Every structure is written in C-alpha cells, then in structure tokens.
C-alpha cells in the first residue's frame, strides 16, 4: 500500500486593499488527519459572508465523507450536509448584532428577518487510499474557486473552470439559509503520482493564473506562486501582481493553498 506524504507549503488569505483581515470573505482550511483541504469565496454583497465561508471550509475539513465529493450526490444530501454550518451561521450572526453600529445592526437585522443570508463558493479536496490500495484524490466544487494540479513539474489540469472566459460575476454558491435549491457540486478525481502539486485558489487569483496558463501552458505560468511559504511572501506577491501594469491581478480577496504530495512505495 502506498504511503502519501502531504506537505502544505502554504495556506492563507489576504483581503482586498483597504480591508482588514476580519473583513476578508475568503477562507482556507485543511485537516491532515482526514486528508481534506478547502477554499471558499464569500460573496461580498451578501450578509456576513466572512463567517459563512469560514464555516463551510471548517465543515468540509471536519467531515469524513463530504457529499460534494460524490458523483452520485443528491440535493437532499447537500441540504442535510449544510444544516450544521447554517445553524452555526445563524447563531453567530444573531450573537454579533449587539456589537454592531446602529446602521449595520438595522441592515443585518432586516436581512436576517427577510432570510437574506450569506453566499459562498466552495472547493474541497480529499486525498486518501482506496480499497485497492491506490492513492486517490477527489475534488468537489460549487462556483469558480479552482484546483490546478501539476504532475512531475508539468501542468496537468484545472477544475472546475477550464477557461478564463468562463469566470463571471455570478458563480454558483451555497447559501446560509435553506432555499431548497442548493446546487450540486461538480466533481473530479485522479490518482496520486510519485510527486504532485495542487494549487487551490479563489476566483481573482485563479483567473490570473488561468490567463498565464493559457498564454504559456507550462510550469512557468505558476512560478510566481510556487515559492510562497509565508504570509509575508503571499502579501508581497499579491501587492506586486495587483500593481503589474501588463496583467494586473484584480483587487479582490484572495485565498491560496499549495499542497505538495509525495508517494512512497
């Protein structure tokens, strides 16, 4: 049976310019014990998206078998799986009200009463050994946060968006209130090679990487992020990419996970 060593080179978020870390609506998380990794992008125009995106990531990483990874998932299973983070979001949103300014309290209180909640994309990845002893990865996604995977130092694929033209301002999302119509996740799976690298990124950074990949289609497209190891590195990279006049990175919240896999036989 192969042994897979999971090395998280980096996992972090950065808010858009002028925002505080607490206001960042993007989230990252991982659990090495369950082999789960996730990024989420909360919709800024929704209600308290920064809480919802973090709850989704935490819930995915704590779940043994998240249904969004299954090709046979049903909407009923998705709604059942979302019940716990929805309850937690409602409790946290209600508890937050007394500490808000009068204007924010009125706005958020009205939204809660009208069941206008938060929305967020979600991209989850799980690494495990299947019943035949093969090291396998499964990914599930709602929205446009993207997984890029590189095998033996070469770009091998991207999921769920496959072209920079497919990014838009209305991606599919999970909602913090039960609307009865949660989307079914797109899924993808593959087998772990001797040495693989996975890049998980929310929409603005994923779009920037996709444009580079479409121009170069080799490892050089990803070089700017491959050496990020600290939040200081990430901050410097994001600031430089946003200021690049030739191909600027959109000024939006950003989330990134760099996961290096080594298979030992």
- pLDDT tens-digit map of 42-94: 999 999 999 999 999 999 999 988 999 998 899 899 999 999 999 999 999 99
DSSP state of 67: G
DSSP state of 44: T
What pLDDT band is residue 111 in, cutting at 50, 70 and 90?
confident
CB 237 within 8 A of CB 224: yes
CB 32 within 8 A of CB 128: no
pLDDT at position 114, please?
81
Query: Which residue, chain included where needed, has tokens 């800024």?
Result: 44
CB 233 within 8 A of CB 256: no
- The domain locations on the chain are 3-264
Round to whole Å and give the CA distance between 166 and 57.
Answer: 24
| Helix, strand, or coil (residue 45) | coil
Rg (CA), the chain: 18
pLDDT at position 71, please?
86
- Higher-pLDDT residue of 159 and 264 is 159
pLDDT at position 130, please?
81
CA dihedral 150, 239, 42, 168 (to 10 degrees): -70
Q: Which of 43-47, 155-159, 162-166, 182-186 has the lowest mean pLDDT?
A: 155-159
**Torsion sign across C-alpha atoms 164, 165, 170, 172:** negative
Round to whole Å and give the CA distance between 62 and 69.
Answer: 14
- pLDDT tens-digit map of 1-28: 457 789 999 999 999 999 999 999 999 9
Whole-model pTM?
0.94
- pLDDT tens-digit map of 172-224: 999 999 887 889 999 999 988 878 899 999 999 999 999 999 988 778 889 99
Tokens of 2: 């192969």
- Given a cut of 70, whether residue 36 has pLDDT beyond it is yes
Tokens of 82: 């979302």
Q: Does domain 3-264 have CATH number 3.10.20.600?
A: no
């Amino acid at each position: 049976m192969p042994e897979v060593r999971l090395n998280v080179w980096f996992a972090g978020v950065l808010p858009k310019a002028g925002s505080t870390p607490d206001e960042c609506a993007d989230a990252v998380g991982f659990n090495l014990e369950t082999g789960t990794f996730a990024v989420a992008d909360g919709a800024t125009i929704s209600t308290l998206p920064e809480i919802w995106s973090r709850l989704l990531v935490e819930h995915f990483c704590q779940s043994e078998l998240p249904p969004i990874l299954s090709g046979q998932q049903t909407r009923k299973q998705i709604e059942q799986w979302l019940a716990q983070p929805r309850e937690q979001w409602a409790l946290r949103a209600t508890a937050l009200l007394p500490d808000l300014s009068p204007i924010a309290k009125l706005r958020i209180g009205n939204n809660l009463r009208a069941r206008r909640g938060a929305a967020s994309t979600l991209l989850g990845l799980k690494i495990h050994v299947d019943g035949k002893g093969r090291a396998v990865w499964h990914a599930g996604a709602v929205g446009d946060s993207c997984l890029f995977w590189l095998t033996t130092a070469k770009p091998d694929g991207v999921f769920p968006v496959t072209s920079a033209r497919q990014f838009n301002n209305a991606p599919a999302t999970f909602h913090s209130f039960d609307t009865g119509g949660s989307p079914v996740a797109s899924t993808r799976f593959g087998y772990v090679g001797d040495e693989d690298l996975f890049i998980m990124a929310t929409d603005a950074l994923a779009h920037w990487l996709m444009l580079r990949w479409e121009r170069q289609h080799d490892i050089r497209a990803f070089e700017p992020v491959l050496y990020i190891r600290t939040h200081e590195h990430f901050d410097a990279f994001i600031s430089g990419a946003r200021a690049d006049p030739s191909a600027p990175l959109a000024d939006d919240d950003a989330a990134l996970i760099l996961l290096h896999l080594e298979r030992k036989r």
